[in-house]
Structure 1
């Protein structure tokens, strides 16, 4: 399409005003309260300087209005407000900075070579060099607004303000993506399509920036000029000033300012409740008198009564949850109709079932906080719950689990209500009758107390005998803090149809598919069958390592069976098998974006083990066979049978060699202490396998130099030929190079050179720059000692 050109008269008008813009010379300064407090544009339409906000001042650019001013740009918006004793200066050495009351100097512009400055009638504040060229301008650093003539370049974003009067960074962002799409997201999300709530749907077009021209038209362009008009105003007003702002409610709006009056020309959404994250966790959005309103879900109270958009938290405790039918005493289900639920969290369960069964399933499951039901399908969710809207046109229902508020949280003994004692009507006419009633009551009470005492004694003796028998078989060695459900052997035998369907087999036994809760929950049961000592060690390692962990990238341990010599572990079922099967055995090669996401999933799971658990855990056996995929293709780490726990104050430990050859770090062979960096090495090898969709050692390749993947990748990296690793794929070159560098850092021989998993994630997400890695020394020599002979 052709470029959008503003009227000639308006261009001449702006050029005339810009040409006579007042020059701000070196040494000029502003004060918040003593004039001058701002530097105006030639016509006085815009001002740059101290703007009053709440109880202090901010450095801002604002459009002067008849009734109120409109802030269009804010400097250092998240550094706090300034006092009345602050001072803004264009210093004699060419720096634009503000001096606080304490004497601290805070730069406004990242240059120290300015010769003069101007506030233009376009709303742009500009710094000039000695030869009058522009060396810094506010238009290049938008906050929440773009004005006529301003661009939002690729990978730039607008961040909404916190409120109409507070211009610090808020909760929403408008991102101009590299794929040509302009998208609205809540901040602090993964920036994925599932988080987006509005998009221009212009992806794939050859555009590199978003643009608002002087006549109010929104458009996209590239280095050749604007080539795609997106949205125009109905009738352009001569000399009007246009601004497009991402407002604090998360909606992107276009305004026209004409003769001191502003009018709304266009908005991306006409329903604030469609803004994901407008209402915080565990609340839902509805309308009251045509205004959006956030209400807490049943069983929740506002986190902050003064700001209902910040979400809600539970008003009852979950500590007494037992699971199964006993939950009916502790909880009840509150039903909500006409719900639109766009929660991006992965559900605990997704299955077709009747509506009543969906409600009951959530009530009986301790992990379920709420369920949604639509068109015969039930989805069960954990906390937090988000992106919920009350929508009268929706047929979806929600079932929210609520604590029984009539129960005390501490001293009640939960159980079925005692049956009322049926008595005949007694007409009490004498003291003798009263004495008989008292004696009968005391006798019954004494008998009841005696029965309870005898029962408790017998139960205690039985438990002591069972415990002694367990000690004879083998000490479990589990901590009191492992709070998992215990299963009987017969219960798991029935659940697996007598261990009929085998999912896989490992060194310590087999894994079988099973179901619980009348087929509503699919599980995987690992039956340890090898030698007693090794099987017991495997059982204790799994229990201690993941008994108290909970993370979306770790396979969840649901319970266990320790009955006599039988040792079984119950896990969530992973329907899509192992990563090894997808990388090395699948008919379809995983798409590039899928592989990048899987690599990040694994990294986040390892980071949780290393830094976010109460006691750090070294997994010791990170490999594709131990990465499982759930029904939503989320990667989860499994098989903690070789894991090593560290004490809270430990960083390294001595232990025997554990793990799989080909993924072992060099320090395993050097009799040196092992740290979490051993897992980092294994992750580096797995990352290379994910990127290249092949094993680290492959003797069937066409070229001898490609046999050892790590060595070949480094040669391609040094030669600038990384495209050989992903031939025929549409892989992002920058991302590929970044991830290869991360992998090469991870497989350095010296543990101290390897990054932590937190650094790995920062580097993979582009938050931290990745430096050039040195060659991992002795790759070939180490491979000969760690790979099995072919």
Structure 2
């Protein structure tokens, strides 16, 4: 008998024996066919159940969670525990008379008042539906006549996954608003290629990789999350490798749920004992963003839970920080004690959001912005998972940047490092602790003073309970009419100017408007990207308010275009005297370069003296923030992916596109990271915008000296091998997690016992020389970032060190091209041995580095008294010493013996 006949026979037997199922005395079909409809009222005696799995474990029902009798959903329910494992119409509940319909096209759910306008439906299917089946695993399936799955609920998880179900990379769980309201809440669990992350309205508050109960088993890329009978896992390599695992007691039924309080909970069920919680993230009492409400102060009282199980969280103690008191009404947290202060709205959040429907917030556009001090020794839940927006700045600059950014609602300032953290878009709870940690961290909340909308606690007292002023009744109509007439006059004058400008262009008359771009219409350049108007970019960036970066070519601002696309707007400086047409010709070349590892140029602006480039926005920022910041360290696989992505992008610039482009400024600041650490190189081709006499700017650009190839200062030819050298220096920084020219404090312990010349002076580390010396010894593990804590092997570090040393050969001809580097990283090309004779210049650099360091330290010792008197002198800080040291080396040694 053929296998197909056997399979068909078994399917018929299965359907015969599972055609019905019985539970609690009621008999149900195990599958239903099209042209079936169900309502709660139709199956009210069975709690809305219309379909049950063959073994009776799961049921499908029109269900009202919490028995509130107003909001009903199509749900899959674990029968024994009455737990919802999946729901369909989360976005819009139906009434008790709402209906579920199964047709040959799929499932639709509609309310009684809108039968022809479904509130939810399955997506378009590739063939007609033959039946709807609920499996013993709890998966709702639509099958075609050939028993092929057309749609299944497992592929559309809500807030829960169960055994047999997976959550792939890029997908997420979304919490419900409450136990009785299944609409999507504000918490998300997202799976990335390296982690599982909890976020509240975009702010991260937990990562599995940082949970002490999770064990990292592999450096492979994560592909999906799952729970099974033995534990909780993040799997990779097609499910053959557990990247992260949490071992749990064996259980036949287990769920992983993101609950409406923001906790990710794993629990198991047995008929004898009921539910047992086995894992919770975060597990500390103050770990969730709104545990004490907005600006509520949460103190995690560990003593109350010292005897509890590991899966239980400690009991939080809530209060209000200084300058705040408990708000009345539905504010759900703390409000300013001074009634004339109010919380401003974030410009990125709709004022109609239910989260903001209270009288404690106002639009700061009509008020003066100030900051209320929360006190010291506090922290914010998001700070540990994000980098500061600025380092080594004073508090006034930190607050000034927040004042200019309408998305910023508060700042935290670390006094010891000058680090500035911001709270954007939403305000959560503030963290405190009994252990006295973070005593040098200060918190400030932005408030509006004298706003037209005041706190609900003081509004009646301020207006005296009086009615609308009579004078306002008279003046407002007059003022409104005057403003309308002025606006109409402005439109009339503008239309006349536009018409005249068009006539002048048609007649060939010159355009004398310095802000006009009309002269660009006189010529056509193939491939030129979209041209933006200056006023359009000014509006998109809110008058260039949010500064997100700066460099040798100019400053970068965050903007939102009229189509809601988020962009990075770069204001170009130092472009010489070339004309608009020459500038646009170069932009056309850059705009036609497309590669997955290159930032996309979306458009440009040329008006008068203004030159702007508009790029796609990279939401994870630049590599230097992630690599050198105070957040969680990059895992080795993530570093390797950054190295490979950067190499691929450079290889394309050097040989894959029509016009060879030498980047000339490869450094971590120009390597940007997008979702899931996707690597994109920025600022490629901008060196072409510099006139020849300005090429020397590269030797003085801030932050690039450590990446300059020797040929820059020896009048040698600049080729693509110059980029290879810079790439090698970046690769060394990826390995160590530190800047190559690393000026340590006197009490720093790294390499204290090393006999290498690179560390012969206290407080000094020239990492390229240390890498050369460790390569000669064959001891590569000393070079790896110590924060990786053994999660990398000697062989893995050796591979990148050898590639990096080959890239920084003094002679450009000995350096591999970037295509060869890609081959080495991908494993298709054998690793070469670095040429030691071409790396001896690093020893010369190292000796001069030591000499320069001694000079700087001697100067600092001599200036010690004055430094104590004037702590604001940046030249006396270690950062100033380092800058002077690097400057000394660059000018003294780069053109050293050849």
Q: TM-score, structure 2 length as denominator?
A: 0.42
